Amino acid sequence: MRLGRIPWINAAAVNAAMDRGIVEPPEVVVSATAAELNDLLAAGELDLSVVSAVEYARDARSYHLLPGLAISCDGPVHSVALFSNRPVEELDRATVLRTASSRTSILLLELMCRHVWKVRPNFATARAEASDLDALSQLPHEAVLVIGDAALHLRAANRYPFFYDLGSVWKDWTGLPFVFAVWAARRDTNRTEALALHDRLLQSRDWGVAHLDLIADEGAARTGIDRETVRAYLDDLDWQLSYRHLAGLSEFFGRLASDGLVPDGSLTFLTAA
């Protein structure tokens, strides 16, 4: 089996036990951004991977969701945020940069601009990597969408007077959790092997959730982000996919489909049958 993983703090609770060999990893593990993993899974270069939630919605006929496993929040997420030089209500026709790291956050921002804030910015994709904050700052823009560890760094740098946490905005808008990433298996992969790997991922997730202090220590040391910030970030994340999470995911997909941004489809799961 070929497994895709995100090397960011937000997935560390699922990765940690496999990274240590406490839970056996598959022979092939590929670390990349969510957008890169989306493309690798779609191309058949991976059998199973964490991917942007939108990647599943884009081509649900090619994938099965893995039950009980996701990266989500029920309120603030901290690491998916719009940083702005002016209030968001004043961004109509303003240049808003979007890094190419996550398609879910990009489409979520489009929904919020259209339906929550009632603005139509001029979106542009930043050529600079999200982690290269100095390069991003040199590009002309009024606001920028940044995700992952880079968003935590940018918040700490305090370079923008306005900060909008997309997890918080979604919760205020819908009252539901938001699922940013899911684990999915290709439908043409070996079902028995995929089920076995899914079980090991759940074991790894459970070990990670029981050792968040250790994960916070390591995340802070690796990224240079303040340890208390990392720990608070982990406290607000959830790596389950409960009925409430599924309600939030379905609501997001439904709103995207209503705006013609993804096909209208149903959720299907990897099962033994």
What's the CATH number where 106 sits?
3.40.190.10
**Spatial strand order in the sheet of 2-5:** 28-31, 2-5, 48-52, 178-186, 63-73, 237-238
Walk along the chain (273 residues) in steps of 10 and give the mean pLDDT of each run: 95 96 96 92 97 92 95 96 96 90 87 97 75 72 91 90 97 97 96 96 98 97 94 96 94 94 85 69
How high is the pLDDT of residue 264? 81
pLDDT at residue number 137: 73
Last residue of a domain, one of 141, 174, 207: 174
Beta strand spans in the chain (E): 2-5, 28-31, 48-52, 63-73, 80-84, 95-98, 122-125, 143-147, 162-165, 178-186, 237-238
Burial class (CB in 10 A: 0-12, 13-18, 19+), 188: exposed
Of 174, 200, 235, the one marking the end of a domain is 174
Residue 53 lies in a domain: yes
Structural domain including 114 reads 80-174
In a domain, residue 263? The reply is no
Structure tokens at 190: 């070996």
β-strands 63-73, 237-238 pairing:
antiparallel
Q: Which pLDDT does position 129 carry in this prediction?
A: 52
Position 99 scores a pLDDT of 75
Element containing residue 152 per DSSP (H, E): helix 149-157
Q: What is the pLDDT of residue 271?
A: 83
Which pLDDT does position 3 carry in this prediction? 98
- Domain annotation covers residue 264: no
Assess if residue 136 is contained within a domain. yes
pLDDT of residue 54: 92
Report the greatest alpha carbon distance in the chain.
53
